[in-house]
Amino acid sequence: MSQVYNFNAGPAVLPADVMQQAQAEFVHYGALGFGIMEASHRAPEFEAIIQAAEANLRALMGIPEEYAVLFLQGGASLQFGMVPMNLLPAGGSADYADTGTWSSKAIKEAKLFGNVNVVCSSKATNYDHIPAFGTWKLDPQAAYLHVTSNNTIFGTQYASFPTPPAGVPMIADMSSDILSRPLNVRDFAMIYAGAQKNLGPSGVTLVIMRKELAARCPANVTTMLKYSTHIDENSLYNTPPTFGIYILKLVTEWVQRQGGVAGIAARNEAKAKLLYDAIDGSGGFYRGPAKLDSRSRMNLCFTLPKAELDKPFLQGAVAAGLVGLKGHRSVGGMRASLYNAMPLAGVEALVSYMRQFRSCHG
Ligand code: PMP
């Protein structure tokens, strides 16, 4: 089969090595005599997998002992609700930065539990940037500050993170850029991410949180939605998404082989530069709506000179083995998601196609 590069925003491309290893182990895992998907979550083979997945993440991201690493379900969307349910006390207020569709959805859920103070918003300019930290209206009494590190739909990303007022924990939705660049976990009280972009398949949600935060949860929250339940039981309170966790473990091993997060980040930087250079060097044919200082290295959005060209661009791309380039329906244009597993060769093929398309239609 000829090479196809998958630029979808998520679920997304996984490393070829991981797919092959999973295929090789699919029917018979180790000495089990059957597949890991068929194994009990209490089986020693699976316990070894979940422990290795956690240990690998701790090593790759430098996650300190006082943080729990949880493998949950329900996607990042459930975290939009679980965060305020557990951490926003009755009568309290939480700070939220509004930098895109996913931030707005997180805000909507938090409003069900308490007051929300929107510290900044780029909505008026169709979320084309991360507002400068100096303009944020931070509340020193906030229960927490919530940010979305990478805005998957609009193609913007925090180049650095704000410093919340003393005593205010910062919580980040890192669904679309987790494990893509180095960061100091201690700058955050909590990080969460759906796995289906940089970590593995859909169905697993990674939560990294300071263990003591979980004590804030009101008593009347249902057992499954309390962080403390999953911390106390090491994500094995009930049946976790075992196969997804197995793939996530393989992905963490692959990241280690790429030189860890630093190695991955250097490759991500090079891939994004290649595509942004092609956009910026196209004489205005391709345009990136995101402001330069807010450009995402994960989701690169661009438009063509006229909307009528979108269809032929996408059709030609598919014929060239480049799929998943259609922008989100709320934005239009194109979006190339260059997650960790997208090889440089995929970006080179895209840039070459873009050059050729422009020479035919420019
Ligand atoms: N946050 C961000 C930044 C996302 O990109 C997405 C999904 N694309 C979500 C949250 C929602 O994630 P899920 O579908 O896992 O609930």
68-95 tens-digit pLDDT: 999 999 999 999 999 999 999 999 999 9
Of the residues 228, 257, 286, which one is the last residue of a structural domain? Answer: 257
What is the structure's pLDDT at 156? 98
- Answer yes or no: is 9 within a domain: no
If asked whether residues 123 and 242 sit together in one domain, one would say yes
Active site residue 293: no
Which atom from ligand 1 is nearest to the alpha carbon of 149? 3
What is the structure's pLDDT at 241? 98
If asked whether residues 221 and 264 sit together in one domain, one would say no
- Please measure the distance between the N-terminal and C-terminal CA atoms of the chain and give it in whole angstroms: 32
Report the CATH number that the domain containing residue 93 is assigned in CATH.
3.40.640.10
Report the CATH number that the domain containing residue 338 is assigned in CATH.
3.90.1150.10
- Answer yes or no: is 7 within a domain: no
What is the structure's pLDDT at 346? 98
Q: Which amino acid is at 130?
A: I
- Per-residue pLDDT 10s for the chain (362 aa) are 789 999 999 999 999 999 999 999 999 999 999 999 999 999 999 999 999 999 999 999 999 999 999 999 999 999 999 999 999 999 999 999 999 999 999 999 999 999 999 999 999 999 999 999 999 999 999 999 999 999 999 999 999 999 999 999 999 999 999 999 999 999 999 999 999 999 999 999 999 999 999 999 999 999 999 999 999 999 999 999 999 999 999 999 999 999 999 999 999 999 999 999 999 999 999 999 999 999 999 999 999 999 999 999 999 999 999 999 999 988 889 999 999 999 999 999 999 999 999 999 98
Quote the domain boundaries for residue 276.
260-361
If asked whether residues 250 and 267 sit together in one domain, one would say no
What is the structure's pLDDT at 2? 86
Distance from Cα 224 to the centre of ligand 1, integer Å: 20
Tens-digit pLDDT profile for residues 176-205: 999 999 999 999 999 999 999 999 999 999
- Enumerate the H helices of the chain as residue ranges: 16-25, 44-61, 75-87, 101-110, 227-232, 242-257, 260-280, 310-319, 344-361
Q: Which residue has a Cα nearest atom 15 of ligand 1?
A: 75
Domain count of the fold of the chain? 2
Distance from Cα 255 to the centre of ligand 1, integer Å: 22
Which atom from ligand 1 is nearest to the alpha carbon of 150? 3
Active site residue 254: no
Nearest Cα to Cα of residue 179 among 110, 258, 232, 244: 258
- CB-ligand 1 contact for 77 (6 Å cutoff): yes
Say if CB 171 and CB 306 are below 8 A apart: no
What is the structure's pLDDT at 138? 98
Distance from Cα 80 to the centre of ligand 1, integer Å: 10
- CB-ligand 1 contact for 76 (6 Å cutoff): yes
Return left, alpha or beta for 336; rule: phi > 0 is left, psi -120 to 50 is alpha, else beta: beta
Active site residue 102: yes
**How big is the chain, counted in residues?**
362
Of the residues 230, 257, 284, which one is the last residue of a structural domain? Answer: 257
What is the structure's pLDDT at 331? 84
- How far apart CA 94 and CA 114 sit, in angstroms, is 8
Q: Which amino acid is at 185?
A: V
If asked whether residues 344 and 223 sit together in one domain, one would say no
- CB-ligand 1 contact for 104 (6 Å cutoff): no
Active-site residue (options: 173, 177, 226, 326): 173
